[in-house]
Structure 1
Amino acid sequence: MIDKKSPIPVYFQLKEDIQRKITKGVWEVGQCIDSERELSQTYEVSRMTIRQALGELVQEGVLIRQKGKGTFVCDPKVKQKDMMSFSEIINKSGRTLENKVLEFKIIDTPQELIDIFPFEKVYKINRNRIVDNECIANEIVFIPVDYCGFINEEKLTGSLFEILNEFGYSIDHSKSTIKAVIMDKRYKGIFGVTEESPLLQTLSKIINRNGKVIFVEEATYRSDKYMLEVNISRREGFLK
């Protein structure tokens, strides 16, 4: 199972094999996997190597350690690390997505958005993003009516990025703030749950290649179902 002569590190081979077993259902969601000692004997590698492989899988949200009990398989999270639409992420993961429109109307541009959108009217779009029959995210989007021409509720069951592409807008990047939110009664209703759990909320300006803000989005995600990976690099010459 492990080729110790391979240029691929042993811990990485081990990590891939454990992930493969989870995918095949050898260990199912919520199930405790073999102990470090058992894995060490099975794969004939050191416990330090086992610990390194398991540590990376824990960081990636594949496994979770419970003190005194063992290491368990996590319910898979939606993981976003690139500038992709939510629809693209789900499609690439092979899961099913349903967009449920909760609110769709034309409103006067909110005062806090006047500096961003100097227009009289904007669309307000409130949607739940349902993955494999479970609500993972709620998104509230504001986009100038002048940018989109005609949009109806039926179109919004698909990808907003694709709708914008139809109108000639190519999304380049976003500027976002991120914060943790406590699940209150309103969010319990939105997500259809009874127990409290942490939420992750982003407020984003979605920008095209010309530096124009196309829409503003407030997105709230179940943090037990969604992972946002942020890569930060220091620009050369920024600090001296």
Structure 2
Amino acid sequence: MGTPRYIKIHNEIQSRIEKGYWQVGQRIPAERELAQEFMVSRMTLRQALQTLVDEGILERRIGAGTFVAQRRIQDKMSGITSFTELTRRQGKVPSSQTVSYLVTEPSLSEAEKLELAENQKILRMERIRFADDEPICFEVAALPFDMVADYRQSQVTTSLYQTLADDGLRIGRAQQTVSATVASERIAELLKVKRGSAILMLRQVTTLKDGRPFEYVRTHYAGDRFEFYLEK
């Protein structure tokens, strides 16, 4: 299966930013103009831009447009990175709903974060995560396909960390970045919140004990249902 059109647009825009075509803080062209340039629908173009926003490469400013994002201040967090285990420790029942599950080409960001070799494919899955049947977050996870190719879909989507542990693979470190944003129309529908509601965005790269990155995930948390705490 070929690379989705929105990923190709994502890669081209990211490449332009990295080459300095658009500078940090600069407004990029309007959606209509970019859709015409790439000869795609506004919906496809919007999906590419939203992915770049989710990755912290672009940022939306209400009433002003879309801009190349400033580098945000970061702080370390420590704690459980498995949603399943975290939910259970809160005395709630975790569950998930798979929105999409696709073996495909990685975006530039996914290839970089996962340290993939050329032509190496990924498994990209989208899930809604629930606690006691209440939607808590929506996540887009990219995994090196050759690392999970032998697992059943249910093993990956239900609790990936437990599946890896059962296979003798130990989880190492997680590098996390948290930022604030607002719910797009799609995220609002998936999490059953109002469009424009406060959303916490977590970007995380998780490695095994041997240092191999095995997961790059972008997670949207409903702001009124989840909170992070810092431990120093």
CA distance in structure 2 between the aligned counterparts of 1:151 and 1:107, rounded to whole angstroms: 17
Question: Does 1:117 pair with 2:92?
Answer: no
CA distance in structure 2 between the aligned counterparts of 1:99 and 1:120, rounded to whole angstroms: 27
Gaps of 5+ in 2: 1-76
Deviation at 1:159, TM superposition (A): 1.0
- Secondary structure of the residue that 2:85 maps to in structure 1? helix
CA distance in structure 2 between the aligned counterparts of 1:195 and 1:140, rounded to whole angstroms: 19
The number of aligned residues is: 153
Distance 1:205-1:157 versus aligned 2 partners, 3 A rule: closer
Distance 1:151-1:168 versus aligned 2 partners, 3 A rule: same
Q: How much is the aligned-residue C-alpha RMSD, in angstroms?
A: 1.9
Q: For 2:126, give the aligned amino acid.
A: N
Partner of 1:133: 133
> Are the aligned partners of 2:182 and 2:195 in contact in 1 as well (CA < 8 Å)?
no
Which of the numbers 79, 92, 96 marks the counterpart of 1:95?
A: 92
Distance 1:212-1:131 versus aligned 2 partners, 3 A rule: same
Displaced runs of 4 or more, over 3 A: none
Partner of 2:181: 181
Partner of 2:34: none
Deviation at 1:81, TM superposition (A): 5.3
CA distance in structure 2 between the aligned counterparts of 1:131 and 1:150, rounded to whole angstroms: 28
Deviation at 1:200, TM superposition (A): 0.4
Q: For 2:144, give the aligned amino acid.
A: P
Larger radius of gyration: 1
Gaps of 5+ in 1: 1-79, 233-240
CA distance in structure 1 between the aligned counterparts of 2:111 and 2:126, rounded to whole angstroms: 20
> Are the aligned partners of 1:99 and 1:156 in contact in 2 as well (CA < 8 Å)?
no
CA distance in structure 2 between the aligned counterparts of 1:209 and 1:84, rounded to whole angstroms: 14
Length-normalised TM-score, structure 2 = 0.61
Q: Deviations over 1:169-224 (max 9, x none)?
A: 21122111111011121111111233642110011110122222111111110121
CA distance in structure 2 between the aligned counterparts of 1:122 and 1:188, rounded to whole angstroms: 27
> Are the aligned partners of 1:205 and 1:215 in contact in 2 as well (CA < 8 Å)?
yes
Partner of 1:155: 155
Q: Deviations over 1:136-182 (max 9, x none)?
A: 11111111111123233322442110122234321122111111011
Deviation at 1:111, TM superposition (A): 2.2
CA distance in structure 1 between the aligned counterparts of 2:229 and 2:101, rounded to whole angstroms: 30
